[in-house]
Amino acid sequence: MTTINNHPIVPMRLLIGAFILSGLAGCGAPEHTTTVDYDGDYPVEQGGSLVEATRGEPSGLIPMIAGESAASAVAANIFNSLLKYDKNLELEGELAKSWQVSPDQKTITFTLKPGLKWADGQPLTSADALFTWQLVTDDNTRTPYGADYKLVTKAEAPDPLTFRVTYPQPYAPALDSWAGLQILPEHLLKGQDINTTAFRRNPVGSHYYQLKEWRNGERITLTRNPNATQGQANIDQLVTRFIPDEASQFLELMANNIDSMALNPIQYARIFPARPDLNSKIGLYKELGNSYTYLGFNLKHKPFDDIRVRQAINYAIDKQELIDGVLLGLGEPVASPYKPGTRWTNPKLKPYPYDTAKAIDLLKAAGYEDHDGDGIVDKNGKPLSFEILTNQNKQREMSAVLIQRRLKEIGIDVTIRVLEWASFVGRYIKTGDFDVVLLGWSLSLDPDQFSIWHSSQQAPGQFNFIGYHNPRVDSLLERGRLELDPDKRMVIYHEFAEILLEDSPIVYLFAGYGLPAIHKRVKGIDNPAPPAGIGHNTYEWYIPRALRRNEISTQ
Amino acid sequence: MIRYLLKRLFWMIPMLIGISLISFFIMHLAPGDITTTEAGFNPKASEESRQKLRELYHLDEPVIVQYGLWLERMGKLDFGASFASHQRPVFWETKDDQGNVTKGLIQEALPITLLINVLSLGLIIAIALPLGVVSSLTQNQLPDRAITLFVFIGFAIPGFWLALLLMYWTGVVHDWLPISGLHSLHYDQLGFFGKIGDSLKHLALPVFISGLSGLAGISLFVRNGMLEVLHQDYITTARAKGLGENTVVYRHALRNALLPLITLLGLAIPGLIGGSVIAESIFAIPGMGKLFYDAVLMRDFPVIMGILTIGSALTLLGNLLADLAYAWADPRVRRGVMS
Amino acid sequence: MRRDLVIKALSNPLALVGFVIILGILVVATLAPYIAPYDPNAIDVKAILLEPSALHYMGTDGLGRDVFSRMLYGARISLLVGIVAVGIATAIGVVLGALAGYYRGWIDVVIMRMVDVMLSIPTFFLILAVIAFLTPSIWNIMIVIGLTSWMGVTRLVRAEFLSLREREFVMASQTLGAKDRRLIFKHLLPNSLTPIIVSSVLGVASAVLIESGLSFLGLGVQAPQASWGNILTDGKEYIQFAWWLSLFPGLAILITVLGYNLLGEGLRDALDPRSANKNK
């Protein structure tokens, strides 16, 4: 699923955690004085609690309805999908034991693992998968994620272990979409209004954990699911605390009250190196996220309909300066709209180099020169000036300011407007009332980007809000959806990325690293992070008894 | 007294209408109409919620009809369900067919905010009263000046800055107090007194921070009230009668200076109900302030309208009670009702 | 305002301190472009988060911008917000208060009910909602703060007018057939000026605080424009490390608000008839 990325770092399925809140004075010895050997070798053992923090409270725990990242992070521990991505981002079965694509590539048959159970002990069968498909495609279901599944013309569950879906024509992103649909229990949801059911705050799933307690406004506690379909996780409880302020979160991390949070580059590169006391108890990790930051032009507004102007701006922006300044070097340049290093990224493509001479030439070719000598280039008496809109996000604000200065050097006058997310989207993006935006895209693992770049996706509220329209790209995107052979698909998307770079409807700025900090009492973490990220094996993480503190019996 | 009460009750009607007008006006302040400001990025969901909003507020009717219907719903305390939190009722709990109770958002948030603010009000009075008295007795001398300076610093210091510094000091450097939240993770395993202690520890900083800024108002009020009373004839008479200075100050002056404080406390009620958005978000407290702030960010109109209206109505009620208490304590007020 | 009152107020050491603080900040804000060693928005990615030094008196922020220069320009924004917001509030308050106090009767009743209604709505909520819907900008912030803080002035002016109307000189001019307008502008208003000024001075202090609170919530003056509120908010995540990012704006707000309060309270004390017969 493609989403507009509101937060700079959204680690995928990252279950970052911490420990039992122990900040109470008089409740055992103060921890600061006890020396614990966090770096020793400890055998794997079960038990303990992980505490993480999130800024917002989920609105509910049915992921297809809730939609926000806080909800999906929690729900990912409760529900299973038919398929999942392994640590190397290859698809493998989760609830499905195997799957088969028919020779005409229009039908996918999933065979479920035998003996699956819901947390309440009821059997989990293909009927649940069918029910979930019916839910997500039902017009009464208030979900933004229905489109992929509505392409299915026939879905059937001929026997408890078989689930079969048929598409009118081959649909390449299909498997990815089935890795994204979490299966819901029919026996608990049948006949209920999915939008308002009590189940959304009291879910029953099949994954490692089940809901234990939801304290409104405070935290959600998950506890191990004895009927888990994927085996037993090591850690007993996952606690998600709602702490809206990031400064408070960081204080909680320093005080050992939460064990994990996503750091920003300054915390990672400046604060931690200067604080050995923090380094001794908190481990820092680095993973390439699934998102990139870009500068997008409103192609329906002059002068951004002129490719030369777009390219000139692209040449005038120093991407390395952005990476060094905004990310303190903790990021990578991007030249195609895919995660760097994956097969969909065209290795031949390089970002536009920083070249002001070329930029000025292109502007001149487009008719922009400084005729009146005021330092701002103009055409027909109209100076080239515009507003960069971005939302409240430190990295984006910083990028905008750096870009503003670079564009000034080639005679473009830029103002910056920073808006809070709701007015940004509601007032400007949906209405198309903007010149240039500075935003980020979070990407799915499937290379299909129909919804972002296809010319049919420009209605208000749809993702192609910059109004990109290129018949060649349209046809490549359409072909890419029909092609199931990964190698042939790769060729298609490499070509797509090449056209996109040339066309420059957006300027790729950078892809930042996710910078999770995790308390060192948590063991079993894969470091360095595999392509799937640091959180790919959270069920294998464990907390040695010796490193647990003030553990209070959960019973 | 009854006459006074009836008069006051009568006056609440136009005030409630005024409140309904203001909240109605705010709803229509959003550019376009409120349905275009929905925060999500979801063509389908936004079309749906747009339709819901249209129905809820009858946006297709003429403005005057819309207002009438809004007034009617206000009267029934029906504020609908929140969009952002998936149909949780805004004000009070509802029960569905299966008997599942869904708690109202305000129902849960209001007690938390009230608790914090009542505690901080208590703290303010406990500190400001002696400060104000000392200040008045040492008018323009060193203690008076020092107290004035101190309470003003309390007012002037940006609360969130001080809060973060204190959180660092008491929670990270020392392990004295929890940093944020309302309950420890093991709260449920604690005994009765353990629970109270745990809650108090969590509330200590938020109460202190929200109390600090209110210190100046009350202590100056007490100081000036005392000064006024101390210069009045009956005090002079009392002094002339040879009553001890302590008796004069505490028996006569203080009592009379405190009377107007009741009204002042009435005026503090919006703050009590409104809580502090900033303190609640920094301390991760799910009170009214945080609820309102989240609603504003999500453009969750039913919640915004519900809080504004209920908050104001409760304030009116509180003011009424304060005035009644004052009238009861000071018969002179009863006569000149609305002047 | 009578000169002897000013002198009297400033003989109060605290008020004098407040006066000096405000004067100093006004001077600094006015001269910001001449004092500031750097362009407040100039970025230097090689100088991120530098500690205070001879090069950068107050260090640099996360973008390598000079905090001292930003503080100077921020003073302008913070004071502008305070003064314009209070200007709006005072204008509304004086008009409504004068109407209510002069004409009394039903006008008075209506206006005072409006005051009560506004006072019953949690003000900060009102400000939040309105600013979010109008999208935050420095102008919207000033207008909204102004529109939600006129009630105090209204009450004050009304009370002054009510009492002044009973005074002999006003009665005298009235019997001499003076027009309403002449009475209001010639006699009543000038004599109510002192309390209005006092409340305005105190109002600026609140407005500066409200702006910093809005900045904390992300609804204040928006980047890249510097206000003390958003410099402080920028620094809050590094409060224990890059202490200079929060200490200086925090102190600036503290001192400014303190200054206005001390001056305002000193003035109030000085013009208060009660303090005339001090118990010395």
Q: What is the 3-state secondary structure (H, E, C) of chain B?
A: CHHHHHHHHHHHHHHHHHHHHHHHHHHCCCCCCHHHHCCCCCHHHHHHHHHHHHHHHCCCCCHHHHHHHHHHHHHCCCCCECCCCCCCECCCCEECCCCCEECCHHHHHHHHHHHHHHHHHHHHHHHHHHHHHHHHHCCCCHHHHHHHHHHHHHHHCCHHHHHHHHHHHHHHHCCCCCCCCCCCCCHHHCCHHHHHHHHHHHHHHHHHHHHHCCHHHHHHHHHHHHHHHHCCHHHHHHHHCCCCHHHHHHHHHHHHHHCCHHHHHHHCHHHHHHCCHHHHHHCCCCCHHHHHHHHHHHCCHHHHHHHHHHHHHHHHHHHHHHHHHHHHHCHHHHHCCCC
Select the residue from A245, A246, A250 to test the B interface by mutation, using most B Cβ atoms within 10 A: A245
Whether residue A401 and residue C223 make contact (CB cut-off 8 A), yes or no, is yes
Q: Please report which residue ranges of A285-393 form alpha helices under DSSP H.
A: 307-316, 319-326, 356-365
Chain-centroid distance, C-alpha A78: 18
**Residue ranges of A 159-188 with Cβ closer than 8 A to chain C:** none
Task: Kindly state whether residues B60 and B134 are assigned to the same domain.
Answer: no
Among A30, A427, A459, the residue with its CB nearest the CB of B175 is A30
Whether residue B157 and residue C250 make contact (CB cut-off 8 A), yes or no, is yes
Select the residue from C45, C215, C243 to test the A interface by mutation, using most A Cβ atoms within 10 A: C45
Neighbour subunits, A (≥3 Cβ pairs < 8 A)? B, C
Domain range spanning residue A150? 83-189
Task: Kindly state whether residues B26 and B118 are assigned to the same domain.
Answer: no
- Report pLDDT digits (tens) over B281-337: 889 999 888 888 888 877 777 788 888 888 888 888 887 887 777 777 766 655 544
Domain for residue A112, yes or no? yes
Structure token digits, residue B212:
């600090």
Q: Please report which residue ranges of A227-300 form alpha helices under DSSP H.
A: 246-254, 265-266, 272-274, 276-279
Structure token digits, residue C46:
């090689």
Check CB contact of A427 with chain C, cutoff 8 Å.
yes
Domain for residue A93, yes or no? yes
In chain C the domains, ranked by start, together with CATH numbers, are: 2-279 (1.10.3720.10)
Neighbour subunits, C (≥3 Cβ pairs < 8 A)? A, B
Please name which of B263, B267, B241 lies closest in space to residue B252, comparing C-alpha atoms. Answer: B241
Name the residue type at position B38: E
Task: Kindly state whether residues A257 and A171 are assigned to the same domain.
Answer: no
For B102, phi and psi rounded to 5 degrees? Answer: -110, 120
pLDDT at C124: 85
pLDDT at A541: 92
The tally of domains found in chain A comes to 3
Determine the Cα–Cα distance for residues A48 and A547; give it in Å rounded to an integer: 10
Taking the CA of residue A258 and the nearest CA in chain C, the distance in Å comes to 16
Whether the upstream peptide bond of residue A528 has omega within 30° of 0, thus cis, is: yes
Whether residue B26 and residue C109 make contact (CB cut-off 8 A), yes or no, is no
- CB of A238 within 8 A of CB of A222? yes
Helices B215-230 and B142-156: crossing angle in degrees, nearest 10, is 150
Chain-centroid distance, C-alpha A316: 29
Task: Kindly state whether residues A389 and A413 are assigned to the same domain.
Answer: yes
Q: Please, is A480 exposed, middle or buried when counting C-beta atoms within 10 Å of its C-beta (0-12, 13-18, 19+)?
A: buried
Kindly identify which residue of chain A lies nearest to residue C50, measuring between CA atoms.
A270
Task: Kindly state whether residues B304 and B217 are assigned to the same domain.
Answer: yes
- CB of A15 within 8 A of CB of A51? no
For A444, phi and psi rounded to 5 degrees? Answer: -80, 170
Domain for residue A161, yes or no? yes
Task: Kindly state whether residues A311 and A435 are assigned to the same domain.
Answer: yes
The CA–CA distances, whole Å, from C270 to A31, C83, C163, C204, C266 equal 55, 23, 19, 20, 6
Taking the CA of residue C194 and the nearest CA in chain A, the distance in Å comes to 40
Domain for residue B201, yes or no? yes
Domain for residue A195, yes or no? no
Domain for residue B22, yes or no? yes
A-chain CB neighbours of C139 within 8 Å are none
Check CB contact of C140 with chain A, cutoff 8 Å.
no
Domain for residue B43, yes or no? yes
C-chain CB neighbours of B154 within 8 Å are none
- Report pLDDT digits (tens) over B52-82: 666 666 666 777 777 887 787 777 777 777 7
The CA–CA distances, whole Å, from A27 to A529, B174, B190 equal 36, 13, 11
Domain for residue A201, yes or no? no
Residues composing chain B? 339
Whether residue A274 and residue C237 make contact (CB cut-off 8 A), yes or no, is no
Please name which of B74, B83, B90, B58 lies closest in space to residue B23, comparing C-alpha atoms. Answer: B74
Check CB contact of C121 with chain B, cutoff 8 Å.
yes
Whether residue B176 and residue A25 make contact (CB cut-off 8 A), yes or no, is yes
Helices C3-10 and C13-30: crossing angle in degrees, nearest 10, is 100
Task: Kindly state whether residues A42 and A132 are assigned to the same domain.
Answer: no
Among A394, A401, A423, the residue with its CB nearest the CB of C135 is A423
Domain for residue B101, yes or no? no
Check CB contact of C41 with chain A, cutoff 8 Å.
yes
Task: Kindly state whether residues B136 and B55 are assigned to the same domain.
Answer: no
Domain for residue B24, yes or no? yes
**Residue ranges of A 453-482 with Cβ closer than 8 A to chain B:** 459-463
C-chain CB neighbours of B231 within 8 Å are 274, 277, 279
Task: Kindly state whether residues B233 and B147 are assigned to the same domain.
Answer: yes
- CB of A50 within 8 A of CB of A541? yes
Task: Kindly state whether residues A493 and A520 are assigned to the same domain.
Answer: no
User: Across the strands, what pairs with A389?
Assistant: A417, A437
CATH number for the domain harbouring residue A133: 3.90.76.10
- CB of A42 within 8 A of CB of A56? no
For C273, phi and psi rounded to 5 degrees? Answer: -60, -30
Kindly identify which residue of chain A lies nearest to residue C239, measuring between CA atoms.
A247
Select the residue from A55, A245, A254, A266 to test the C interface by mutation, using most C Cβ atoms within 10 A: A266
Task: Kindly state whether residues B120 and B65 are assigned to the same domain.
Answer: no
Task: Kindly state whether residues B26 and B122 are assigned to the same domain.
Answer: no
- Please, what sign has the CA dihedral across residues B150, B155, B159, B161? negative
Neighbour subunits, B (≥3 Cβ pairs < 8 A)? A, C
Task: Kindly state whether residues B51 and B116 are assigned to the same domain.
Answer: no
The tally of domains found in chain B comes to 2
Task: Kindly state whether residues B142 and B90 are assigned to the same domain.
Answer: no
Select the residue from A2, A19, A51, A59 to test the B interface by mutation, using most B Cβ atoms within 10 A: A59
Among A321, A402, A420, the residue with its CB nearest the CB of C219 is A420
Whether residue A459 and residue B108 make contact (CB cut-off 8 A), yes or no, is no
Residue found under tokens 């000091």: B169
Which of B40, B64, B94 terminates a domain? The answer is B94
Whether residue C240 and residue B172 make contact (CB cut-off 8 A), yes or no, is yes
Among C114, C257, C279, the residue with its CB nearest the CB of B156 is C257
Radius of gyration of chain B (CA): 24
Q: Is the pLDDT of residue B124 over 70?
A: yes
Determine the Cα–Cα distance for residues B294 and B313; give it in Å rounded to an integer: 21
Select the residue from C11, C17, C121 to test the B interface by mutation, using most B Cβ atoms within 10 A: C121
Whether residue B282 and residue A255 make contact (CB cut-off 8 A), yes or no, is no
Task: Kindly state whether residues B236 and B118 are assigned to the same domain.
Answer: yes
Q: Which segments of chain A have a pLDDT < 50?
A: 1-33, 552-555
Which of B94, B119, B143 terminates a domain? The answer is B94
Determine the Cα–Cα distance for residues B140 and B90; give it in Å rounded to an integer: 51
Task: Kindly state whether residues A280 and A427 are assigned to the same domain.
Answer: no
Largest CA-CA distance found in chain A, in angstroms, rounded: 79
Q: Which helix (H) or strand (E) holds A473?
A: helix A471-482
Check CB contact of A248 with chain B, cutoff 8 Å.
yes
For A52, phi and psi rounded to 5 degrees? Answer: -125, 170
pLDDT at A57: 86
Structure token digits, residue A336:
């195609």
Task: Kindly state whether residues B45 and B128 are assigned to the same domain.
Answer: no
Check CB contact of A365 with chain C, cutoff 8 Å.
no
Task: Kindly state whether residues A89 and A132 are assigned to the same domain.
Answer: yes
Domain for residue B99, yes or no? no
Check CB contact of B168 with chain A, cutoff 8 Å.
yes
Task: Kindly state whether residues A522 and A503 are assigned to the same domain.
Answer: no
ipTM of the complex in this document? 0.83
Domain for residue B136, yes or no? yes
Task: Give the CA dihedral A190, A193, A194, A197, nearest 10 degrees.
Answer: -100
For A207, phi and psi rounded to 5 degrees? Answer: -85, -165
Which of A161, A189, A217 terminates a domain? The answer is A189
- Report pLDDT digits (tens) over B262-288: 777 777 777 677 668 888 888 999 988
Domain for residue A197, yes or no? no
- Please, what sign has the CA dihedral across residues B295, B301, B302, B307? positive
Reported pTM: 0.86
Check CB contact of B73 with chain A, cutoff 8 Å.
no
Domain for residue A50, yes or no? yes
CATH number for the domain harbouring residue B333: 1.10.3720.10
Task: Kindly state whether residues B180 and B295 are assigned to the same domain.
Answer: yes
Determine the Cα–Cα distance for residues A144 and A41; give it in Å rounded to an integer: 46
Which of B94, B129, B163 terminates a domain? The answer is B94
Among C129, C253, C279, the residue with its CB nearest the CB of B26 is C129
B-chain CB neighbours of A245 within 8 Å are 180, 281-282, 284
For strand A385-391 and strand A413-419, is the pairing parallel, antiparallel, or unpaired? parallel
pLDDT at C86: 93
For strand B94-95 and strand B101-102, is the pairing parallel, antiparallel, or unpaired? antiparallel
A-chain CB neighbours of C238 within 8 Å are 266-267, 271
Give the strand order in the sheet containing A96-101.
A96-101, A107-112, A162-166, A154-159
Whether residue B175 and residue A31 make contact (CB cut-off 8 A), yes or no, is yes
3-state secondary structure (DSSP) of residue A469? coil
Task: Kindly state whether residues A274 and A320 are assigned to the same domain.
Answer: no
Please name which of A441, A446, A491 lies closest in space to residue A148, comparing C-alpha atoms. Answer: A446
Domain for residue A116, yes or no? yes
Task: Kindly state whether residues A406 and A421 are assigned to the same domain.
Answer: yes
pLDDT at B294: 84
Select the residue from A420, A428, A431, A434 to test the C interface by mutation, using most C Cβ atoms within 10 A: A420
Which of A133, A159, A189 terminates a domain? The answer is A189
Residue found under tokens 């002198």: C7
Domain range spanning residue B129? 111-338
Check CB contact of A321 with chain C, cutoff 8 Å.
yes
Task: Kindly state whether residues A486 and A540 are assigned to the same domain.
Answer: no
Task: Kindly state whether residues A10 and A57 are assigned to the same domain.
Answer: yes
3-state secondary structure (DSSP) of residue A478? helix
Check CB contact of A401 with chain C, cutoff 8 Å.
yes
Q: Is the pLDDT of residue B136 over 90?
A: no
- Report pLDDT digits (tens) over B26-60: 777 765 545 554 444 544 445 555 666 666 666 66
pLDDT averaged over consecutive 10-residue blocks of chain C (280 residues)? 69 86 91 88 82 89 88 90 92 91 86 86 85 80 90 88 76 71 75 83 88 85 81 84 89 92 84 48
